[in-house]
Amino acid sequence: MLERTEARTTTGRGRLFDSVLETIGDTPVIRINNLGVDHATIYVKAEFFNPASSVKDRLAIAIIEDAERSGALKPGQTVVEATSGNTGIGLAMVCAQKGYPLVVTMADSFSVERRRLMRMLGAKVVLTPRAQKGLGMYRKAVELAEKNGWFLAHQFETAANAAIHETTTAREIVNDFAGSRLDYFVTGYGTGGTVVGVSRVLRRERPETKIILSEPANAQLLGSGHAQPREGDGAPAASHPAFEPHPIQGWTPDFIPKVLQEAIDEHYYDQIVPIAGPKAMEWTKALAQKEGIFTGISGGATFGVARQIAEAAPAGSVLLCMLPDTGERYLSTPLYESIPAEMDAAELELSLSTPGFQLPA
């Protein structure tokens, strides 16, 4: 455990920002001190430091500004996208700042907080039946775009997705580890943009870094070896046969996105490591309670895989894993089932240990 003896000071960021959108990126890399292993060092890249609290803020700004430059998105035009939540929240932030109406389609299985956050940011949220999975919400977005002449964000197919991670996320990692070891980079996947964009740079500039990709143990789309059925434009033609519902929201939709296909075709990852949902939640809670790092289930999943890799890694190894979002996005999910809202027995005992300011029985 690290201890500080000198008083803390701050100096500011050294600049003034013209809008919230300028604060996207440059997220910190943080060393793990209490949950690590003795012979290796684990760092996490904390994407919840983005202004809307997830890695998808990068994707959201990339999609909108790329479409503005190309003319695909007209001033005041409505944006529509299918999302499990984080991309929608990021898009809602970007669209609020830039003045675009936003409509999001989302399966009703995802956490209620996500709907409320998007609506708080001014978006409309159209729910689709959970039985139709990610493909259902995807096709609903396509229908709405075609019917109304809206701009479809295409997060699962757009080249802007991996490109923003190549020019920002990967550059931050390379700069942060300049002159230092980086033996393993560990990430999960949703659209695949993070792993593709970062891998393009690491394969070129840090070829010694092994890239570890993870996915839910009960939804091993890549691990199954089965190809994804696709339409001519690369869109999914059907759900992947290896998919099953899983609790790691934001990871692994029921199809392999076109963006992720590059990682498969170019052999960007060195190993695929599955992790079970309950184990992911255990690590999420451990990060909060032992490190003070508040991340979502996907962050716990990625860290759990990084911890597993670290245990078997050679002495002196350095690992970096992605933490995609914040734990506040999961309050209504099983992650919090064991976290009571009322006082437990120990807390009640503390309350009763002094005579004043007690709640009525």
- As annotated, the active-site residues are 56, 298
Cα–Cα dist 283/299, whole Å: 8
| 184/146 Cα distance (integer angstroms) | 43
* Close Cβ partners of 69 (under 8 Å, ≥ 6 residues apart): none
Q: What angle do CA 80, 84, 90 make, to 5 degrees?
A: 60
Going 155 to 161 to 164 to 165, the CA torsion angle's sign is positive
